[in-house]
């Protein structure tokens, strides 16, 4: 039945002639393992085509959507991590295989006449493959691809005459943005792959015309099928296994913090959340300062070469040497005409070995210059610069991990780069230092991760490290005029409770028996503890406040004791004095917000205030809002601060690390609880 079906299909298509033409190729001297490299290149390219098409089904080529779509592929799409990982490592595998194939070709003398056309086609294939690697590197629109592409296109700009025009064409304008991404996407998907396919077909056709280049003394003969095809298949499977191992075990990806997916299938399908697959750096942000930009490892030799030609001589590294090497590679077959064949063979091997060795040495030197301890016995030229690079690299890695975890809760409609721009954890500290640290310290008892706090002995305002916590309030109650609190301010009328308490205790020690003295001290300390807990409880949402702490604390807060008269100056709720700040919701984001926007408000420090107000003076309707604030606080100095910057500082101070969304999350992503 199968034979009849095969005959029917061959009668209508003639597929057997095509099959025989492809598989029944004579191999003088027999099948060899060293002949496999061309076939493995085609095999890996087919993997690139399949995985590339699958990636296209979920990729969105826009500067506000690209990173989010790659995040979806890596962490949300079933087995997207595997598809993307194979595509990522497949591009690097092709570069390695091209080097091996080129070396094998010149060793066999397969570049010499009459095969020079095939050699030139191979050089064209090399150029297109490198072009695919360069254009694909930018498509995730992450920091690494964004800045590395700038390095590569800046090298291109140094080409005489056409360099600036070529760079502008690729970039799509004077700045790197949406047009740059769409240009690179078009090249990577619509132009270079068809070009590569046409060149591969031409390469194979010319190759079949002259056959395998075998030694002159070769004996015997094999057919491509099955002898050589078996070897090609074995090596191709080994290479695929190596690629798969890199995807699974290299651990390049950032992990998603949180519960693991349920079930074996979900764990495998969403293994990207466990760090499997290719790395995804933080979203591209042109405003980033000091990003450790490096091209992909197979372009590092050019990056290193630039270091030896500084200033005006850099065109030698960017154009003269690469074009000279390209011209030499193009001319290699011409050295083998006639009686010069042996000489041409020797020159070919010498040039390719020297070229690969030079590329390898320059690549190792580039790695060594970025490692304070050197790399593979290559010394580091500038240890301090390498240490700075490694610090920046660690910082970039942490930002990438943070961005991935923030994206898990949703991505702003304005684009993924807003994730870090509006992240209190990474941005809040910087804004606090810019706007608040002029007067305030922010000390911490112990380092919080990488944050060690900052302290200036000449600070003019309270240390806000631990602000609103029970410990902070307890210290304030005992000695508000300590430098940690209001000792360096011009606020007057504040009672030094520590001094009063010490005077009180001195009287008790004289007047009372020892056991009565100890009892009074214990009661006094208990009252201060209750008030501290009571006020610290105000920072919590009302429904989460401890009722026992509130009921016990309010008694001590409102007590008319010699050592404790809080309610005579401060208000909580509707009762209390008006000489000091209202402590209702003290330490909460609402309390801090009014303090920042109107510190001279009657519910804050009123006429005693010396702090400037920070308000948005540029938003729509700002004039109306400012008029309302001026009625409450007519004398205060106002400093412009955007609403988002203010909220970033508030959330950072209160250790609320939710992203501040200026708009909605992208469609399909869960909305944050903010």
Whether 14 maps to a domain, the answer reads no
Among 154-168, 240-254, 333-347, whose mean pLDDT is lowest? Answer: 154-168
CATH number at residue 250: 1.20.810.10
Residues 280 and 425 in one domain: no
Question: Distance of alpha carbon 128 from its chain centroid, rounded?
Answer: 28
Tokens 């190596």 sit at which residue?
242
Whether 642 maps to a domain, the answer reads no
Cβ 297 vs Cβ 360: under 8 Å: no
Confidence of residue 496 (pLDDT cuts 50, 70, 90): low
Whether 91 maps to a domain, the answer reads yes
- Pick from 612, 618, 616: nearest CA to 636: 612
What are the tens digits of pLDDT across the range 531-570? Answer: 999 999 999 999 999 999 999 888 888 876 655 678 888 8
Distance CA 60, CA 185 (A): 10
Q: Directed axis angle between helix 116-138 and helix 321-331, to 10°?
A: 150
Among 256-260, 267-271, 389-393, whose mean pLDDT is lowest? Answer: 256-260
Confidence of residue 637 (pLDDT cuts 50, 70, 90): confident
Whether 521 maps to a domain, the answer reads yes
State residue 670's pLDDT score.
39
Calculate the alpha carbon distances from 657 to 52, 101, 394 in Å. 36, 52, 21
State residue 276's pLDDT score.
93
List CB contacts of 373: < 8 A, sequence separation 6 or more: 380
- By CB atoms closer than 10 A (0-12, 13-18, 19+), residue 248 is middle
Confidence of residue 76 (pLDDT cuts 50, 70, 90): very high
Tokens 């200026």 sit at which residue?
662
Confidence of residue 667 (pLDDT cuts 50, 70, 90): very low
What are the tens digits of pLDDT across the range 446-474? Answer: 777 778 888 887 888 999 999 999 999 99
pLDDT at 674 exceeding the cut of 60: no
Tokens 């979203």 sit at which residue?
283
| Of the residues 592, 616, 636, the one at which a domain ends | 592
Mean pLDDT of 396-416: 91
Let me know how long the chain is: 674
What is the DSSP track for 600-615?
A: TSTTTTGGG--SPEEE
H helices present in 562-664, as ranges:
589-597, 622-632, 643-653
Among 265-269, 407-411, 556-560, 632-636, whose mean pLDDT is lowest? Answer: 632-636
- Pick from 659, 651, 514: nearest CA to 593: 651
Q: Which domain holds residue 247?
A: 38-214+226-284
Beta bridge partners of 245: none
Cβ 26 vs Cβ 209: under 8 Å: no
Beta bridge partners of 572: 575
- Name the residue with higher pLDDT: 28 or 159: 28
Q: In this structure, what token pair is assigned to residue 126?
A: 């090399």
| Strand spans (E) along 165-254 | 221-223
Distance CA 575, CA 124 (A): 84
- Name the residue with higher pLDDT: 673 or 306: 306
Domains contained in the chain, number: 2
Query: Angle 47-48-49 (CA atoms, 0-180°, nearest 5)?
Result: 90
Instruction: Give, rounded to a whole angstrom, the gap between the first and last alpha carbons of the chain.
Output: 68
Confidence of residue 669 (pLDDT cuts 50, 70, 90): very low
- Pick from 456, 454, 466: nearest CA to 429: 454
Distance CA 383, CA 381 (A): 6
Is the C-alpha dihedral spanning 109, 111, 115, 118 positive or negative?
Answer: positive
| Of the residues 284, 311, 333, the one at which a domain ends | 284
Mean pLDDT of 307-311: 87
- Name the residue with higher pLDDT: 89 or 21: 89
Confidence of residue 155 (pLDDT cuts 50, 70, 90): confident
Distance CA 249, CA 245 (A): 6
Q: In this structure, what token pair is assigned to residue 47?
A: 């993997």
pLDDT at 620 exceeding the cut of 80: no
Among 330-344, 618-632, 649-663, whose mean pLDDT is lowest? Answer: 618-632
Q: Within a 13 Å sphere around the CA of 568, how many CA atoms are in the beta-carbon half? A: 10
List CB contacts of 413: < 8 A, sequence separation 6 or more: 64, 663, 664, 665, 666
Q: How much of the chain, in percent, has pLDDT values that exceed 90?
A: 54
Mean pLDDT of 662-671: 43
**SS percent in the chain: helix, strand, coil, step 5:** 60, 5, 35
Mean pLDDT of 149-162: 78
Distance CA 381, CA 374 (A): 9
Beta bridge partners of 27: 222
Whether 358 maps to a domain, the answer reads no
Tokens 């520590």 sit at which residue?
498
Q: How much of the chain, in percent, has pLDDT values that exceed 70?
A: 93
Distance CA 661, CA 421 (A): 10
Q: What is the pLDDT of the chain when averaged over all its residues?
A: 87
Tokens 């690729």 sit at which residue?
170
Q: What are phi and psi of 485, to 5 degrees?
A: -110, -105
pLDDT at 198 exceeding the cut of 90: yes
Question: Distance of alpha carbon 650 from its chain centroid, rounded?
Answer: 25
Whether 479 maps to a domain, the answer reads yes
Q: pTM of the entire structure?
A: 0.85
Distance CA 27, CA 114 (A): 18
State residue 629's pLDDT score.
76
State the CB neighbour count (10 A cutoff) for residue 584: 16
Cβ 160 vs Cβ 315: under 8 Å: yes
State residue 608's pLDDT score.
84
| Of the residues 570, 592, 614, the one at which a domain ends | 592
What are the tens digits of pLDDT across the range 208-227? Answer: 888 787 777 777 777 788 88
What are the tens digits of pLDDT across the range 292-304? Answer: 988 889 989 988 9
Whether 649 maps to a domain, the answer reads no
Distance CA 24, CA 223 (A): 6
Distance CA 311, CA 136 (A): 30
What are the tens digits of pLDDT across the range 341-392? Answer: 999 999 999 999 999 999 999 999 999 999 999 999 999 999 999 999 999 9
Whether 54 maps to a domain, the answer reads yes
């Amino acid at each position: 039945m199968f034979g009849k079906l095969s005959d029917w299909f061959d009668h209508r298509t003639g597929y057997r002639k095509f099959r025989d033409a492809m598989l029944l190729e004579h191999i003088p001297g027999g099948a060899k393992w060293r002949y496999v490299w061309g076939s493995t290149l085609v095999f890996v390219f087919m993997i690139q085509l399949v995985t590339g098409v699958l990636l296209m089904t979920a990729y969105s080529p826009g500067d506000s959507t690209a990173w989010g779509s790659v995040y979806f592929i890596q962490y949300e799409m079933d087995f997207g991590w595997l598809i993307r990982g194979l595509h990522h490592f497949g591009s690097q595998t092709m570069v390695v295989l091209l080097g091996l194939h080129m070396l094998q070709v010149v060793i066999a003398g397969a570049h010499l006449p009459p095969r020079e056309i095939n050699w030139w086609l191979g050089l064209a294939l090399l150029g297109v493959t490198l072009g695919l690697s360069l254009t694909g590197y930018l498509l995730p629109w992450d920091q690494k691809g964004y800045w590395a592409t700038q390095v590569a296109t800046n090298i291109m700009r140094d080409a005489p005459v056409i360099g600036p025009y070529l760079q502008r064409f690729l970039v799509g304008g004077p700045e790197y943005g949406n047009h740059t991404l769409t240009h690179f996407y078009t090249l990577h998907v619509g132009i270079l792959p068809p070009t590569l396919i046409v060149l591969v077909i031409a390469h194979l056709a010319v190759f079949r015309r002259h056959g395998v280049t075998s030694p002159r003394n070769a004996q015997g003969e094999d057919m491509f099928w099955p002898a050589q095809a078996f070897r090609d298949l074995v090596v191709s499977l080994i290479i695929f296994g190596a690629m798969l191992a890199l995807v699974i075990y290299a651990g390049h990806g950032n992990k998603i913090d949180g519960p693991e997916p349920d079930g074996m299938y979900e764990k495998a399908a969403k293994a990207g959340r466990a760090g499997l697959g290719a790395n995804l750096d933080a979203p591209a942000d042109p405003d980033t300062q000091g990003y450790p930009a490096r091209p992909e490892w197979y372009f590092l030799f050019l990056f290193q070469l630039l270091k030896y030609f500084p200033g005006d001589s850099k065109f030698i590294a960017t154009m003269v040497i690469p074009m000279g090497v390209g011209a030499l590679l193009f001319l290699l077959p011409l050295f083998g005409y006639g009686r010069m064949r042996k000489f041409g063979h020797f020159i070919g091997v010498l040039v390719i070995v020297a070229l690969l060795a030079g590329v390898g040495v320059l690549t190792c030197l580039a790695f060594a210059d970025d490692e304070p301890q050197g790399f593979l016995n290559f010394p580091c030229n500038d240890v301090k610069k390498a240490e700075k690079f490694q610090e920046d690299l660690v910082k970039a890695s942490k930002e990438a991990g943070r961005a991935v975890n923030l994206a898990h809760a949703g991505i702003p409609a304005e684009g993924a780069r807003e994730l870090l721009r509006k992240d209190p954890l990474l941005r809040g500290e910087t804004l606090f230092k810019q706007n608040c640290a002029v007067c305030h310290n922010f000390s911490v008892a112990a380092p919080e991760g990488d944050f060690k706090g900052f302290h200036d002995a000449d600070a003019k305002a309270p240390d806000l490290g631990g602000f609103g916590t029970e410990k902070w309030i307890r210290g304030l109650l005992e000695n508000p005029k300590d430098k940690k609190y209001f000792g360096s301010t011009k606020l007057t009328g504040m009672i030094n409770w520590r001094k009063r308490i010490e005077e009180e205790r001195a009287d008790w020690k004289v007047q009372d028996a020892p056991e009565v003295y100890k009892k009074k001290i214990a009661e006094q300390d208990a009252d201060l503890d209750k008030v501290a807990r009571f006020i610290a409880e105000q920072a919590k949402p009302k429904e989460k406040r401890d009722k026992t702490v509130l009921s016990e604390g309010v008694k001590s807060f409102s007590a008319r004791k010699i050592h404790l008269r809080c309610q005579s100056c401060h208000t909580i709720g509707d009762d209390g004095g008006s000489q000091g700040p209202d402590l209702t919701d003290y330490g909460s984001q609402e309390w801090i917000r009014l303090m920042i926007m109107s510190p001279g408000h009657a519910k804050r420090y009123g006429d005693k205030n010396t702090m400037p107000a920070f308000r948005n003076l540029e938003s729509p309707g700002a004039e109306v809002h400012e008029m309302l604030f001026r009625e409450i606080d007519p004398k205060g100095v106002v400093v412009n601060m955007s609403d988002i910057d203010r909220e970033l500082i508030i959330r950072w101070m209160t250790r609320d690390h939710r992203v501040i969304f200026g708009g909605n999350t992208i469609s399909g992503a869960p909305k944050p609880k903010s």
